[in-house]
Structure 1
Protein backbone atom coordinates (compact mmCIF):
# COMPACT_ATOMS: atom_id res chain seq x y z
CA UNK A 1 0.00 0.00 0.00
CA UNK A 2 1.30 3.46 -0.88
CA UNK A 3 1.82 5.96 1.92
CA UNK A 4 1.33 9.69 2.36
CA UNK A 5 2.27 12.10 5.14
CA UNK A 6 0.43 15.28 6.05
CA UNK A 7 2.32 18.02 7.88
CA UNK A 8 -0.30 20.49 9.05
CA UNK A 9 -2.41 21.93 11.86
CA UNK A 10 -5.21 20.14 13.67
CA UNK A 11 -8.84 21.21 13.19
CA UNK A 12 -10.85 19.98 16.16
CA UNK A 13 -14.11 20.26 14.17
CA UNK A 14 -12.76 17.72 11.65
CA UNK A 15 -13.38 19.65 8.45
CA UNK A 16 -9.92 20.94 7.58
CA UNK A 17 -6.26 20.45 8.45
CA UNK A 18 -4.89 17.11 9.62
CA UNK A 19 -8.34 15.60 9.98
CA UNK A 20 -9.43 16.46 6.43
CA UNK A 21 -6.08 15.28 5.08
CA UNK A 22 -6.28 11.87 6.73
CA UNK A 23 -9.88 11.37 5.57
CA UNK A 24 -8.94 12.35 2.02
CA UNK A 25 -5.88 10.10 1.89
CA UNK A 26 -7.86 7.17 3.24
CA UNK A 27 -10.66 7.72 0.73
CA UNK A 28 -8.03 7.80 -2.04
CA UNK A 29 -6.65 4.43 -0.90
CA UNK A 30 -3.28 5.41 0.55
CA UNK A 31 -2.02 4.91 4.10
CA UNK A 32 -2.11 8.27 5.91
CA UNK A 33 0.35 9.54 8.52
CA UNK A 34 0.54 12.93 10.22
CA UNK A 35 2.89 15.44 11.78
CA UNK A 36 0.98 18.10 13.70
CA UNK A 37 2.40 21.64 13.58
CA UNK A 38 -0.32 23.48 15.49
CA UNK A 39 -3.50 22.97 17.47
CA UNK A 40 -6.45 25.13 16.51
CA UNK A 41 -9.73 25.68 18.27
CA UNK A 42 -12.06 26.14 15.32
CA UNK A 43 -15.37 25.13 13.86
CA UNK A 44 -17.45 26.03 10.82
CA UNK A 45 -17.92 29.61 12.06
CA UNK A 46 -14.31 30.55 12.75
CA UNK A 47 -11.01 30.10 14.57
CA UNK A 48 -10.95 31.01 18.26
CA UNK A 49 -7.43 29.93 19.17
CA UNK A 50 -4.08 28.66 17.84
CA UNK A 51 -1.24 27.00 19.75
CA UNK A 52 1.94 26.12 17.85
CA UNK A 53 3.56 22.78 18.58
CA UNK A 54 7.07 22.98 20.07
CA UNK A 55 9.67 22.87 17.27
CA UNK A 56 11.58 20.08 18.99
CA UNK A 57 8.46 17.94 19.02
CA UNK A 58 7.72 18.70 15.35
CA UNK A 59 11.26 17.47 14.63
CA UNK A 60 10.70 14.33 16.70
CA UNK A 61 7.45 13.56 14.87
CA UNK A 62 9.16 13.89 11.47
CA UNK A 63 12.09 11.70 12.46
CA UNK A 64 9.80 9.04 13.90
CA UNK A 65 7.75 8.81 10.71
CA UNK A 66 10.62 8.85 8.21
CA UNK A 67 12.70 6.29 10.09
CA UNK A 68 9.90 3.71 10.08
CA UNK A 69 7.33 4.21 7.28
CA UNK A 70 8.86 6.33 4.51
CA UNK A 71 6.13 8.40 2.80
CA UNK A 72 5.61 8.12 -0.96
CA UNK A 73 4.22 11.66 -0.97
CA UNK A 74 3.86 14.57 1.43
CA UNK A 75 1.26 17.29 1.84
CA UNK A 76 2.30 20.42 3.76
CA UNK A 77 -0.47 22.64 5.08
CA UNK A 78 -0.59 25.07 7.99
CA UNK A 79 2.90 26.07 9.14
CA UNK A 80 2.36 29.20 11.19
CA UNK A 81 5.88 30.10 12.43
CA UNK A 82 9.26 30.53 10.76
CA UNK A 83 10.90 28.28 13.36
CA UNK A 84 8.66 25.38 12.37
CA UNK A 85 9.37 26.08 8.70
CA UNK A 86 13.10 25.76 9.43
CA UNK A 87 12.65 22.38 11.14
CA UNK A 88 10.49 20.99 8.34
CA UNK A 89 12.88 22.15 5.62
CA UNK A 90 15.86 20.62 7.41
CA UNK A 91 14.19 17.26 8.00
CA UNK A 92 12.70 16.94 4.51
CA UNK A 93 16.09 17.68 3.01
CA UNK A 94 17.83 15.22 5.35
CA UNK A 95 15.46 12.39 4.43
CA UNK A 96 15.32 13.28 0.71
CA UNK A 97 11.54 13.61 0.77
CA UNK A 98 9.71 13.32 -2.54
CA UNK A 99 6.39 14.30 -4.15
CA UNK A 100 5.78 17.30 -1.87
CA UNK A 101 2.50 19.19 -2.33
CA UNK A 102 2.51 22.48 -0.45
CA UNK A 103 -0.74 24.27 0.30
CA UNK A 104 0.32 27.77 1.45
CA UNK A 105 -2.41 28.10 4.06
CA UNK A 106 -2.71 31.73 5.12
CA UNK A 107 -6.40 32.33 5.80
CA UNK A 108 -9.14 29.94 6.91
CA UNK A 109 -12.41 29.67 4.99
CA UNK A 110 -13.96 31.73 7.78
CA UNK A 111 -11.46 34.55 7.13
CA UNK A 112 -9.21 34.02 10.16
CA UNK A 113 -5.45 34.49 9.70
CA UNK A 114 -3.46 31.29 10.25
CA UNK A 115 0.17 32.31 9.70
CA UNK A 116 2.64 34.86 11.08
CA UNK A 117 4.06 37.39 8.60
CA UNK A 118 7.61 36.18 9.23
CA UNK A 119 6.52 32.63 8.43
CA UNK A 120 5.31 33.67 4.97
CA UNK A 121 8.82 34.87 4.11
CA UNK A 122 10.39 31.65 5.41
CA UNK A 123 7.80 29.55 3.60
CA UNK A 124 8.69 31.17 0.28
CA UNK A 125 12.45 31.07 0.79
CA UNK A 126 12.78 27.55 2.24
CA UNK A 127 9.82 25.26 1.66
CA UNK A 128 8.71 26.31 -1.82
CA UNK A 129 11.97 25.03 -3.28
CA UNK A 130 11.31 21.55 -1.86
CA UNK A 131 7.83 21.31 -3.41
CA UNK A 132 6.77 19.54 -6.56
CA UNK A 133 3.74 21.83 -6.67
CA UNK A 134 2.15 24.55 -4.54
CA UNK A 135 -1.60 25.13 -4.49
CA UNK A 136 -2.49 28.76 -3.65
CA UNK A 137 -5.99 30.16 -3.92
CA UNK A 138 -6.60 33.62 -5.39
CA UNK A 139 -5.94 35.55 -2.17
CA UNK A 140 -2.78 33.58 -1.45
CA UNK A 141 -1.56 33.98 -5.04
CA UNK A 142 -2.02 37.75 -4.77
CA UNK A 143 0.23 37.78 -1.69
CA UNK A 144 2.82 35.53 -3.35
CA UNK A 145 2.86 37.29 -6.73
CA UNK A 146 2.32 40.88 -5.57
CA UNK A 147 -0.39 41.53 -8.17
CA UNK A 148 -4.16 41.85 -8.07
CA UNK A 149 -6.03 38.97 -9.72
CA UNK A 150 -9.33 39.79 -11.39
CA UNK A 151 -9.62 37.32 -14.28
CA UNK A 152 -8.04 34.31 -16.00
CA UNK A 153 -5.32 36.44 -17.61
CA UNK A 154 -4.27 37.69 -14.19
CA UNK A 155 -4.22 34.09 -12.92
CA UNK A 156 -1.76 33.15 -15.66
CA UNK A 157 0.41 36.19 -14.95
CA UNK A 158 0.47 35.49 -11.21
CA UNK A 159 1.27 31.79 -11.68
CA UNK A 160 4.16 32.68 -13.98
CA UNK A 161 5.56 35.18 -11.45
CA UNK A 162 5.36 32.65 -8.62
CA UNK A 163 7.01 29.94 -10.73
CA UNK A 164 9.82 32.22 -11.87
CA UNK A 165 10.45 33.41 -8.32
CA UNK A 166 10.40 30.00 -6.65
CA UNK A 167 10.98 27.32 -9.29
CA UNK A 168 8.07 25.06 -8.34
CA UNK A 169 4.96 24.18 -10.31
CA UNK A 170 1.89 26.24 -9.37
CA UNK A 171 -1.72 25.06 -9.26
CA UNK A 172 -3.63 28.32 -8.93
CA UNK A 173 -7.18 27.66 -7.78
CA UNK A 174 -9.67 29.96 -9.48
CA UNK A 175 -12.66 29.20 -7.31
CA UNK A 176 -15.99 30.95 -7.55
CA UNK A 177 -14.44 34.37 -7.02
CA UNK A 178 -12.82 34.28 -10.48
CA UNK A 179 -14.48 31.60 -12.60
CA UNK A 180 -16.51 28.40 -12.44
CA UNK A 181 -13.90 26.58 -10.36
CA UNK A 182 -11.32 26.52 -13.17
CA UNK A 183 -7.80 25.90 -11.91
CA UNK A 184 -4.52 26.67 -13.66
CA UNK A 185 -1.44 24.43 -13.55
CA UNK A 186 1.73 26.26 -14.58
CA UNK A 187 5.18 24.67 -14.84
CA UNK A 188 8.17 25.91 -16.81
CA UNK A 189 6.06 27.70 -19.40
CA UNK A 190 3.58 24.84 -19.79
CA UNK A 191 -0.02 25.84 -19.10
CA UNK A 192 -2.86 23.42 -18.33
CA UNK A 193 -6.37 24.52 -17.39
CA UNK A 194 -8.61 22.21 -15.41
CA UNK A 195 -12.20 23.20 -16.06
CA UNK A 196 -14.80 22.61 -13.40
CA UNK A 197 -18.49 23.33 -13.07
CA UNK A 198 -19.94 25.61 -10.44
CA UNK A 199 -21.34 23.53 -7.57
CA UNK A 200 -23.96 25.39 -5.59
CA UNK A 201 -22.77 24.33 -2.15
CA UNK A 202 -21.83 26.92 0.49
CA UNK A 203 -20.14 24.26 2.62
CA UNK A 204 -16.50 24.43 1.51
CA UNK A 205 -14.66 24.28 4.86
CA UNK A 206 -11.40 22.43 4.26
CA UNK A 207 -11.67 22.31 0.46
CA UNK A 208 -8.10 23.53 -0.03
CA UNK A 209 -6.72 20.94 2.38
CA UNK A 210 -8.75 18.26 0.67
CA UNK A 211 -7.57 19.13 -2.84
CA UNK A 212 -3.87 19.22 -1.92
CA UNK A 213 -4.14 15.95 0.02
CA UNK A 214 -5.88 14.27 -2.91
CA UNK A 215 -3.10 15.44 -5.24
CA UNK A 216 -0.48 14.04 -2.86
CA UNK A 217 -2.38 10.75 -2.63
CA UNK A 218 -2.34 10.32 -6.38
CA UNK A 219 1.32 11.28 -6.68
CA UNK A 220 2.02 8.60 -4.07
CA UNK A 221 0.28 6.07 -6.32
CA UNK A 222 2.57 6.97 -9.21
CA UNK A 223 0.37 9.24 -11.32
CA UNK A 224 1.86 12.25 -13.10
CA UNK A 225 1.29 15.71 -11.64
CA UNK A 226 -1.26 16.55 -14.34
CA UNK A 227 -3.19 13.31 -13.83
CA UNK A 228 -2.99 13.67 -10.04
CA UNK A 229 -4.57 17.12 -10.25
CA UNK A 230 -7.32 15.83 -12.53
CA UNK A 231 -8.14 12.93 -10.22
CA UNK A 232 -8.05 15.23 -7.18
CA UNK A 233 -10.44 17.68 -8.88
CA UNK A 234 -12.84 14.83 -9.65
CA UNK A 235 -12.70 13.65 -6.03
CA UNK A 236 -13.37 17.06 -4.49
CA UNK A 237 -16.24 17.70 -6.92
CA UNK A 238 -17.94 14.51 -5.77
CA UNK A 239 -17.30 15.39 -2.12
CA UNK A 240 -19.02 18.75 -2.68
CA UNK A 241 -21.89 17.20 -4.67
CA UNK A 242 -22.65 14.94 -1.71
CA UNK A 243 -24.11 18.09 -0.10
CA UNK A 244 -23.18 17.36 3.49
CA UNK A 245 -24.62 20.08 5.73
CA UNK A 246 -23.12 20.30 9.21
CA UNK A 247 -22.53 23.24 11.54
CA UNK A 248 -23.73 26.82 11.68
CA UNK A 249 -21.20 28.27 9.21
CA UNK A 250 -19.38 27.02 6.12
CA UNK A 251 -19.55 23.31 6.77
CA UNK A 252 -17.19 20.47 5.79
CA UNK A 253 -17.19 18.29 2.69
CA UNK A 254 -18.27 14.67 2.73
CA UNK A 255 -14.83 13.07 2.38
CA UNK A 256 -16.31 9.58 2.75
CA UNK A 257 -18.87 9.84 -0.08
CA UNK A 258 -17.26 6.95 -1.97
CA UNK A 259 -16.66 4.61 0.96
CA UNK A 260 -19.02 1.63 0.72
CA UNK A 261 -19.43 -1.48 2.79
CA UNK A 262 -21.36 -3.09 5.61
CA UNK A 263 -20.48 -0.45 8.19
CA UNK A 264 -21.54 2.33 5.81
CA UNK A 265 -24.89 0.60 5.26
CA UNK A 266 -25.48 0.38 8.99
CA UNK A 267 -24.70 4.07 9.37
CA UNK A 268 -27.12 5.01 6.56
CA UNK A 269 -29.93 3.22 8.35
CA UNK A 270 -29.42 4.96 11.70
Structure 2
Protein backbone atom coordinates (compact mmCIF):
# COMPACT_ATOMS: atom_id res chain seq x y z
CA UNK A 1 0.00 0.00 0.00
CA UNK A 2 1.31 3.45 -0.91
CA UNK A 3 1.93 5.47 2.28
CA UNK A 4 0.01 8.74 2.60
CA UNK A 5 2.09 11.87 2.06
CA UNK A 6 1.87 14.03 5.18
CA UNK A 7 3.12 17.62 4.94
CA UNK A 8 4.15 18.92 8.37
CA UNK A 9 4.39 22.68 8.89
CA UNK A 10 6.01 23.19 12.28
CA UNK A 11 9.10 24.16 14.26
CA UNK A 12 12.20 22.09 14.93
CA UNK A 13 13.05 20.76 18.41
CA UNK A 14 16.78 20.22 18.85
CA UNK A 15 16.07 17.88 21.76
CA UNK A 16 14.13 15.53 19.51
CA UNK A 17 11.08 15.24 21.73
CA UNK A 18 8.55 17.53 20.08
CA UNK A 19 8.06 19.58 16.92
CA UNK A 20 9.19 18.34 13.52
CA UNK A 21 11.23 15.54 15.10
CA UNK A 22 8.23 14.07 16.96
CA UNK A 23 6.06 14.58 13.87
CA UNK A 24 8.41 12.65 11.58
CA UNK A 25 8.71 9.78 14.07
CA UNK A 26 4.94 9.57 14.50
CA UNK A 27 4.05 9.71 10.81
CA UNK A 28 6.69 7.09 10.02
CA UNK A 29 5.67 4.69 12.80
CA UNK A 30 2.02 4.86 11.76
CA UNK A 31 2.72 4.15 8.11
CA UNK A 32 2.91 7.57 6.49
CA UNK A 33 5.56 9.44 4.51
CA UNK A 34 6.62 12.61 6.31
CA UNK A 35 7.53 15.84 4.49
CA UNK A 36 8.33 19.12 6.22
CA UNK A 37 8.22 22.89 6.04
CA UNK A 38 10.13 24.17 9.06
CA UNK A 39 8.82 27.43 10.55
CA UNK A 40 11.39 27.96 13.30
CA UNK A 41 14.62 26.52 14.64
CA UNK A 42 14.74 26.17 18.40
CA UNK A 43 17.52 25.45 20.85
CA UNK A 44 15.74 23.38 23.46
CA UNK A 45 16.06 20.36 25.68
CA UNK A 46 14.02 18.73 28.42
CA UNK A 47 14.57 21.75 30.69
CA UNK A 48 13.15 24.39 28.36
CA UNK A 49 13.59 26.51 25.25
CA UNK A 50 16.83 28.47 25.26
CA UNK A 51 16.51 30.21 21.87
CA UNK A 52 14.12 30.51 18.92
CA UNK A 53 15.11 31.52 15.38
CA UNK A 54 12.04 32.07 13.15
CA UNK A 55 12.36 31.07 9.50
CA UNK A 56 11.31 33.87 7.11
CA UNK A 57 7.77 33.36 5.78
CA UNK A 58 8.97 33.27 2.17
CA UNK A 59 11.25 30.33 3.02
CA UNK A 60 8.40 28.49 4.73
CA UNK A 61 6.32 28.99 1.58
CA UNK A 62 9.22 27.83 -0.61
CA UNK A 63 9.46 24.59 1.39
CA UNK A 64 5.72 23.99 1.09
CA UNK A 65 5.62 24.70 -2.63
CA UNK A 66 8.67 22.54 -3.30
CA UNK A 67 7.00 19.55 -1.64
CA UNK A 68 3.48 20.11 -2.97
CA UNK A 69 4.50 20.73 -6.57
CA UNK A 70 6.66 17.61 -6.88
CA UNK A 71 5.73 14.98 -4.30
CA UNK A 72 2.10 15.88 -3.72
CA UNK A 73 0.27 15.75 -0.41
CA UNK A 74 -2.55 13.71 1.13
CA UNK A 75 -2.90 15.50 4.48
CA UNK A 76 -1.36 18.48 6.29
CA UNK A 77 -0.39 18.93 9.92
CA UNK A 78 0.23 22.46 11.21
CA UNK A 79 2.05 22.97 14.50
CA UNK A 80 4.23 25.81 15.75
CA UNK A 81 3.86 28.76 13.37
CA UNK A 82 6.24 31.33 14.87
CA UNK A 83 4.69 34.58 13.61
CA UNK A 84 1.50 36.14 12.28
CA UNK A 85 3.20 36.72 8.92
CA UNK A 86 4.01 33.02 8.63
CA UNK A 87 0.46 32.06 9.60
CA UNK A 88 -0.95 34.19 6.78
CA UNK A 89 1.67 32.90 4.32
CA UNK A 90 0.82 29.28 5.15
CA UNK A 91 -2.90 30.04 4.80
CA UNK A 92 -2.26 31.60 1.38
CA UNK A 93 -0.61 28.40 0.14
CA UNK A 94 -3.29 26.10 1.54
CA UNK A 95 -6.11 28.23 0.16
CA UNK A 96 -4.53 27.94 -3.28
CA UNK A 97 -4.45 24.14 -3.40
CA UNK A 98 -6.57 22.88 -6.33
CA UNK A 99 -7.92 19.96 -4.29
CA UNK A 100 -8.89 20.30 -0.60
CA UNK A 101 -6.85 18.11 1.73
CA UNK A 102 -7.43 17.11 5.37
CA UNK A 103 -5.72 19.67 7.59
CA UNK A 104 -4.95 19.13 11.28
CA UNK A 105 -4.17 22.34 13.15
CA UNK A 106 -2.47 22.05 16.52
CA UNK A 107 -2.51 25.65 17.87
CA UNK A 108 0.84 25.56 19.64
CA UNK A 109 1.17 28.45 22.09
CA UNK A 110 3.10 27.21 25.11
CA UNK A 111 5.71 24.43 25.32
CA UNK A 112 5.52 21.73 27.99
CA UNK A 113 8.33 23.58 29.78
CA UNK A 114 6.20 26.76 29.90
CA UNK A 115 7.98 28.70 27.14
CA UNK A 116 5.64 30.98 25.16
CA UNK A 117 5.75 30.07 21.46
CA UNK A 118 3.06 32.39 20.01
CA UNK A 119 2.43 36.09 20.66
CA UNK A 120 -0.96 37.85 20.48
CA UNK A 121 -0.65 38.74 16.80
CA UNK A 122 0.15 35.15 15.92
CA UNK A 123 -2.79 33.83 17.93
CA UNK A 124 -5.06 36.33 16.17
CA UNK A 125 -3.82 35.06 12.80
CA UNK A 126 -4.78 31.51 13.80
CA UNK A 127 -8.33 32.40 12.68
CA UNK A 128 -7.44 31.85 9.03
CA UNK A 129 -5.91 28.47 9.78
CA UNK A 130 -8.92 27.38 11.83
CA UNK A 131 -11.20 28.20 8.90
CA UNK A 132 -9.12 25.92 6.68
CA UNK A 133 -8.71 23.10 9.17
CA UNK A 134 -10.53 19.78 9.18
CA UNK A 135 -9.88 19.51 12.91
CA UNK A 136 -8.26 21.71 15.59
CA UNK A 137 -6.55 20.02 18.57
CA UNK A 138 -6.11 22.47 21.49
CA UNK A 139 -5.30 21.55 25.06
CA UNK A 140 -7.38 23.21 27.77
CA UNK A 141 -5.24 26.40 28.14
CA UNK A 142 -5.11 26.80 24.34
CA UNK A 143 -8.86 26.30 24.11
CA UNK A 144 -9.39 29.16 26.58
CA UNK A 145 -6.90 31.41 24.77
CA UNK A 146 -8.75 30.87 21.49
CA UNK A 147 -12.06 31.98 22.98
CA UNK A 148 -13.54 28.65 23.94
CA UNK A 149 -15.26 25.82 22.15
CA UNK A 150 -17.99 27.86 20.49
CA UNK A 151 -15.50 30.37 19.06
CA UNK A 152 -13.47 27.63 17.39
CA UNK A 153 -16.46 25.69 16.12
CA UNK A 154 -17.86 28.90 14.59
CA UNK A 155 -15.03 28.70 12.05
CA UNK A 156 -16.19 25.26 10.92
CA UNK A 157 -13.62 22.65 11.97
CA UNK A 158 -14.13 19.64 14.16
CA UNK A 159 -12.56 20.01 17.59
CA UNK A 160 -10.57 17.57 19.69
CA UNK A 161 -10.27 18.97 23.21
CA UNK A 162 -7.27 17.36 24.92
CA UNK A 163 -7.76 16.84 28.62
CA UNK A 164 -4.20 16.30 29.79
CA UNK A 165 -4.11 19.67 31.59
CA UNK A 166 -7.20 18.81 33.63
CA UNK A 167 -7.26 17.71 37.25
CA UNK A 168 -7.46 14.15 38.54
CA UNK A 169 -6.10 10.75 37.62
CA UNK A 170 -8.51 10.26 34.72
CA UNK A 171 -8.14 12.17 31.44
CA UNK A 172 -11.03 12.99 29.13
CA UNK A 173 -10.40 13.68 25.44
CA UNK A 174 -13.46 14.91 23.57
CA UNK A 175 -14.10 15.00 19.83
CA UNK A 176 -16.79 17.47 18.73
CA UNK A 177 -18.07 17.41 15.15
CA UNK A 178 -21.12 18.88 13.46
CA UNK A 179 -23.00 15.63 14.08
CA UNK A 180 -21.85 14.19 17.39
CA UNK A 181 -19.50 14.12 20.35
CA UNK A 182 -17.21 11.22 21.22
CA UNK A 183 -15.43 10.81 24.55
CA UNK A 184 -12.35 8.81 25.42
CA UNK A 185 -11.41 8.24 29.06
CA UNK A 186 -8.07 6.85 30.16
CA UNK A 187 -5.93 6.76 33.29
CA UNK A 188 -3.26 9.41 33.59
CA UNK A 189 0.23 7.98 33.17
CA UNK A 190 2.36 9.34 36.00
CA UNK A 191 5.49 10.48 34.20
CA UNK A 192 7.41 13.74 33.74
CA UNK A 193 8.40 12.54 30.27
CA UNK A 194 5.50 13.98 28.30
CA UNK A 195 7.32 16.38 25.98
CA UNK A 196 5.72 16.33 22.53
CA UNK A 197 2.32 14.87 23.33
CA UNK A 198 0.41 17.50 21.34
CA UNK A 199 2.69 17.26 18.29
CA UNK A 200 2.49 13.48 18.36
CA UNK A 201 -1.29 13.42 18.64
CA UNK A 202 -1.86 15.88 15.79
CA UNK A 203 0.56 14.10 13.46
CA UNK A 204 -1.05 10.76 14.27
CA UNK A 205 -4.46 12.20 13.39
CA UNK A 206 -3.13 13.64 10.12
CA UNK A 207 -1.63 10.28 9.20
CA UNK A 208 -4.93 8.52 9.79
CA UNK A 209 -6.84 11.06 7.71
CA UNK A 210 -4.29 10.62 4.94
CA UNK A 211 -4.90 6.87 5.13
CA UNK A 212 -8.64 7.35 4.72
CA UNK A 213 -9.76 6.86 8.32
CA UNK A 214 -12.67 8.97 9.53
CA UNK A 215 -12.23 11.46 12.37
CA UNK A 216 -13.43 9.12 15.11
CA UNK A 217 -11.22 6.28 13.94
CA UNK A 218 -8.08 8.36 13.55
CA UNK A 219 -8.57 10.19 16.87
CA UNK A 220 -9.05 6.89 18.70
CA UNK A 221 -5.88 5.47 17.20
CA UNK A 222 -3.94 8.69 17.84
CA UNK A 223 -4.99 8.87 21.50
CA UNK A 224 -3.98 5.25 22.00
CA UNK A 225 -0.62 5.83 20.32
CA UNK A 226 0.13 8.79 22.59
CA UNK A 227 -0.71 6.71 25.65
CA UNK A 228 1.59 3.94 24.45
CA UNK A 229 4.49 6.32 23.75
CA UNK A 230 4.09 7.89 27.19
CA UNK A 231 4.29 4.47 28.78
CA UNK A 232 7.40 3.70 26.70
CA UNK A 233 9.27 6.96 27.50
CA UNK A 234 13.03 6.24 27.72
CA UNK A 235 13.63 8.66 30.62
CA UNK A 236 16.15 10.92 28.89
CA UNK A 237 17.03 14.35 30.26
CA UNK A 238 16.57 16.12 33.58
CA UNK A 239 13.16 17.73 32.93
CA UNK A 240 10.18 17.02 30.68
CA UNK A 241 11.71 14.23 28.65
CA UNK A 242 10.75 12.74 25.28
CA UNK A 243 8.33 9.88 24.75
CA UNK A 244 9.09 6.47 23.25
CA UNK A 245 7.75 6.83 19.72
CA UNK A 246 9.27 3.62 18.38
CA UNK A 247 8.67 1.46 21.45
CA UNK A 248 5.06 2.63 21.69
CA UNK A 249 4.07 1.74 18.13
CA UNK A 250 2.83 -1.81 18.66
CA UNK A 251 0.27 -1.68 21.52
CA UNK A 252 -1.60 1.53 20.61
CA UNK A 253 -4.78 -0.26 19.53
CA UNK A 254 -5.02 -2.01 22.88
CA UNK A 255 -4.48 1.10 25.00
CA UNK A 256 -7.02 3.25 23.13
CA UNK A 257 -10.17 3.62 25.26
CA UNK A 258 -13.48 3.94 23.45
Please, what TM-score do these two structures have when normalized by structure 2? Answer: 0.92
Structure 2 residue corresponding to 1:247, chosen from 224, 230, 237? 237
Structure 1 residue corresponding to 2:131, chosen from 104, 129, 132? 129
2:85 corresponds in structure 1 to 83
Q: Aligned to 1:78, what secondary structure does the other structure show?
A: coil
Gaps of 5+ in 1: 146-157, 261-270
Structure 1 residue corresponding to 2:110, chosen from 107, 113, 128? 107
Q: Aligned to 2:146, what secondary structure does the other structure show?
A: helix
Query: Number of residue pairs matched?
Result: 246
1:170 corresponds in structure 2 to 159
Deviation at 1:161, TM superposition (A): 3.8
Range that drifts further, 69-78 or 94-103: 94-103
Equivalence map 1:1-270=2 (5 Å): 1-95=3-97, 96-124=99-127, 126-145=128-147, 158-164=148-154, 166-179=155-168, 180-188=170-178, 190-258=180-248
Deviation at 1:201, TM superposition (A): 1.6
For 2:100 and 2:237, the matched residues in 1 are separated by 37
Gaps of 5+ in 2: 251-258
For 1:258 and 1:79, the matched residues in 2 are separated by 27
For 1:178 and 1:191, the matched residues in 2 are separated by 21
For 2:223 and 2:181, the matched residues in 1 are separated by 17
Q: Aligned to 2:42, what secondary structure does the other structure show?
A: strand
1:150 corresponds in structure 2 to none
For 1:249 and 1:197, the matched residues in 2 are separated by 22
2:256 corresponds in structure 1 to none
Q: Aligned to 2:110, what secondary structure does the other structure show?
A: coil
Range that drifts further, 211-220 or 191-200: 191-200
For 1:32 and 1:194, the matched residues in 2 are separated by 27
Deviation at 1:3, TM superposition (A): 1.2
The structure whose residues are more often helix, as a share, is: 1
For 1:193 and 1:254, the matched residues in 2 are separated by 25
RMSD of the TM alignment (CA)? 1.4
Deviation at 1:258, TM superposition (A): 4.9
Q: Does the CA-based 8 Å contact 1:160-1:186 persist in structure 2?
A: no
Deviating 4+ runs (over 6 angstroms)? none
Task: Give CA deviations for 1:142-190 in whole Å, capped at 9, x if unaligned.
Answer: 1112xxxxxxxxxxxx4234212x2111101011524522111112252
Distance 1:163 1:27, change over 3 A: same
For 2:205 and 2:39, the matched residues in 1 are separated by 21
Range that drifts further, 30-39 or 170-179: 170-179
